[in-house]
Structure 1
């Protein structure tokens, strides 16, 4: 883990911000928005968790990740962000496909249709013990790639590493006709929702910006 953000936050007096996720897309979103978070991977076994609905599952996963990292003594006093995304299609929660075959079948079932990308968010203020949660939802309209295009996309390996087997900013971009809602949420983290959750904890996003 890179400790530079940790040192910078102490030097400037800003609150430490810790991202409880190994997602490079979430880290990039935070950095682009002016934050310098540390990254600590939670190690939560996602397959061991379940919930009554896709929305509830996204929230359970986010809370588990944030809670696991917030409990570490080395993050005392920090703000911890946990997120997790699933795609809801036909009432089912679709996370990362377990194999290339599953990714191919997933895309064949999604093409020409719409799904809802759900991202659970959990922010824990370890200084006070308070926490806030929420789920952001964005409708994704999939194009109709043919079998050869799907096979070529899955062969890149990209869909095996992302919830729903697609990304907005990757090789699957030509196969997405559009979205209704927050694009950041589809990438992995909703900035408007993050601002709301931080506000409920009495923290302004502007207080967390890197002023360098």
Structure 2
């Protein structure tokens, strides 16, 4: 559900498609109004899921200090403020939220969020490309419980059932976990001391940095 290109965002992503670097006043106004409208639509359409799961809407700070180590294999949109400090627009909805959780010592929390994420453009001095991303996060003090994973899959299933247009699409649920990746690589014969290098190659392949 955290993929900006997921089919669920088709009805909301049309205003975000730009063919020229010039951004009109109308386009800016449309972009600003898209996210609140999408949030209201989802809140109105699936109130039962939100209440039953105890979900809250959380919006961490938009900007945070630039740190390229947080986005290895990706390129966030970075800017400089008036003091010369580099700040980063959210590349995804997880990093800023994880920073917020760590700084506030939060141990129990469930949230969902539909917000804008940004990608830099190849042309300099051009407004970054904006995408809509949906995120569902569960914060628990223990890491050996599979209940949050089950809740996530169940919530995705309920959302698909709430929206009739989603039921007509062919959906696939992808599980993204380092332990799964490690197990697959070890099963494929990759030595344990080469796992980090193999993971970097896969990351570059997904980012389309590798050439044939």
Q: Same fold (TM over 0.5)?
A: no
Larger radius of gyration: 2
TM range (shorter): under 0.3
TM-score, scaled to structure 2: 0.27
More strand per residue? 1
TM-score, scaled to structure 1: 0.27
